[in-house]
Structure 1
Amino acid sequence: MLNDVIFILLVFFSNIIQTLTGFAGTMLAMPGAMLLIGVENAKVVLNIMGLVASLYIGLKNWKSVHKKELIKITVLMFMGLLIGIQIFKVLQMNMLLTIYGIMIVGIALKNLFFKKKLRIHEVFLTAILIIAGIIHGMFISGGALLVVYAAMRFKEKAEFRSTLAFVWVFLNSYLLMIQIGDGMVNSETLTLTAVSLIPLALAIYLGNILHHRIDQNAFMKITYVLLLASGMMLLV
């Protein structure tokens, strides 16, 4: 019972960040959620939460979506997604969690202490999107690597957020169909999802207000600090 309450709070706070930035919500929630309700349950519930939040952001800000980049990102990440789903079925969970934790810590440290933007060749940018898809296929949280790409492509905050939102809508919808087919959507996950909808709605409301009022750079610093804490929790 206590784990469920903590999980609902995790959904609430992580989706405030998801609505504010268009990413990071599932990345922040996944490590703790896996420990609280189990890996498969966490993947299902957070996938649905991310899908709902992203659909709201995308539809509300459709005019800001960069359509050409949306197609490119979705296609390349979908290729990686298919690979990630298979990797998740083959590799041992402890190994995956360790790799995932190291990746999160590395990205958080990079964004906190290394501010200079790197010039990355187009081939590597393409590879980043495919790897982001692989991570998303395994843990529903490929946003960390997608942000590396998006930061070099989008200059406007609204364009950044709305385009990424629709990427998650497409990818998470596909993942949900896979999860239903694999029998991962059951009475337990549906109950957790239903209970989480109210805090999710409140989180979306507050996150949207913050998006228009708070300084983005300051809030991103907080996001990466929380991201670092999440990665360290997995490793410890």
Structure 2
Amino acid sequence: MWAGLQLAAPPVVFFRCPRAIQSLEKAVVEFFPLCRPSGRMERCFETGGLGVREFCFAAVVFATYCIQGVTGFGGTVLALPFAVRLVADPRVVVPVLTLQSLIFCACFLLMDRSGVVWRKVGIMVFYLSLGAPVGVFFFKSIPPSTFKPVLGALIVAIALWGIARARCARLARFVPGPILSRLMLVLGGAVQGSFGSGGPFVMLYAETAFKDKGEFRTSLLALWFLSNLIVVPQYFLAGIDVPQVLSLTAWSIPAVLVGLILSLPLHRRLGQRSFLLVLYAFLFLAGLFTLLAA
């Protein structure tokens, strides 16, 4: 319940009005004297200090990576609109979220990699790697505001299609052809390189490729681990603010790990059909939040 509140409240309450975050900071300082800023702490992300915005960012990271541990994707695409509002610079946020995803997937695979279908993961990595350099080029040269509305609309459309397939037997029998599936993987690689959010497009291939929810989740996490290994060095070569990215990533790692641990029992409780519905419901929310942040 609390994770849902953390995901739903910020865009409705805080992110509509920039003064709301300042009011929240003032309220916390008044009621919790230990949080009173001094020196470095009164300067937020710009100087690497810890403040209310950082803890809000950690809460978003925890909630979204808990979701990723249940479904196999969604951590970055759900966190992105909130993180951009809190940090403000997408060229810092995207590399940070990508590094977090790399750490999350590595930790999960160290615990359990028995369900990975490596042959299918290899196919996905190949086609994603074709699109990733294009995405990194857009990341460097084109303002994110140009693509956010299109990205959000595409994610919502994919989510609605998936929900309809999960609830309608006739639609469930439709299987995308190999050409369309692979084009979606290339597009997913481009979006992964530019926004770190290629999961929605990979879904169109993965849903038909993996019939078991455990294989689905574990194989997707292996995919994100391998694809992020390709993308992360390209971010550093693109000239990102390395100290800020590494600092923000380092102190948010505990939130990533707690989200991972809490996601494990939640995944076990979901049946296959419920798993698909939850999967596409979160995907719909991701698209909606991306549109709101555009």
**Quick one: which amino acid aligns to residue 227 of structure 2?**
L
Please name the residue that 1:60 is paired with: 111
Of 120-129 and 9-18, deviating more is 120-129
- 2-side partners of 1:230 and 1:161: how far apart? 18
Q: TM-score, normalized by length of structure 2?
A: 0.74
Cα–Cα, structure 1 residues 222 and 159, in superposed 2: closer, same or farther, change >3 Å? closer
The answer as to 2:228 corresponding to 1:172 is: yes
Unaligned runs of 5+ in 1: none
Please name the residue that 1:150 is paired with: 206
Question: CA offset at residue 15 of structure 1?
Answer: 0.5
Of the candidates 82, 86, 90, which is equivalent to residue 39 of structure 1? Answer: 90
The answer as to 2:83 corresponding to 1:27 is: no
Please name the residue that 2:145 is paired with: 94
Deviations, residues 152-207 of structure 1 (Å, cap 9, x unaligned):
01111221111111111111122221222233253322222122111111111111
- 2-side partners of 1:226 and 1:36: how far apart? 21
**Quick one: which amino acid aligns to residue 220 of structure 2?**
L
- 2-side partners of 1:56 and 1:215: how far apart? 24
Which SS does the other structure have where 2:114 is aligned?
helix
Q: What is the number of residues matched between the two proteins?
A: 236
Please name the residue that 2:239 is paired with: 183
Where in structure 2 are the equivalents of 1:1-236 lying within 5 Å? 1-37=51-87, 38-115=89-166, 116-117=171-172, 118-215=174-271, 217-218=273-274, 220-236=276-292
Conservation of the 8 A alpha-carbon contact between 1:44 and 1:185? no
Deviations, residues 62-89 of structure 1 (Å, cap 9, x unaligned):
2221111111110111001112112333
Q: Which has the larger radius of gyration?
A: 2
- 2-side partners of 1:33 and 1:19: how far apart? 19
**Quick one: which amino acid aligns to residue 187 of structure 1?**
P
Question: CA offset at residue 231 of structure 1?
Answer: 2.7
Cα–Cα, structure 1 residues 229 and 72, in superposed 2: closer, same or farther, change >3 Å? closer
Question: CA offset at residue 222 of structure 1?
Answer: 4.3
Of 36-45 and 135-144, deviating more is 36-45
Query: After TM superposition, which residue ranges in structure 1, 4 or more long, deviate above 4 angstroms?
Result: none
- 1-side partners of 2:251 and 2:236: how far apart? 19
Unaligned runs of 5+ in 2: 1-50
Conservation of the 8 A alpha-carbon contact between 1:22 and 1:54? no
Conservation of the 8 A alpha-carbon contact between 2:81 and 2:290? yes
Cα–Cα, structure 1 residues 232 and 11, in superposed 2: closer, same or farther, change >3 Å? same
Of 160-169 and 80-89, deviating more is 80-89
- 2-side partners of 1:84 and 1:218: how far apart? 33
Higher relative contact order (CA 8 A, sep 6+): 1
Identity of aligned residues (%): 27
Which SS does the other structure have where 1:170 is aligned?
helix
Of 219-228 and 46-55, deviating more is 219-228
- 1-side partners of 2:84 and 2:133: how far apart? 21
- 2-side partners of 1:9 and 1:223: how far apart? 21
Of 93-102 and 196-205, deviating more is 93-102
Which SS does the other structure have where 2:147 is aligned?
helix
Cα–Cα, structure 1 residues 213 and 235, in superposed 2: closer, same or farther, change >3 Å? closer
Which SS does the other structure have where 2:175 is aligned?
coil
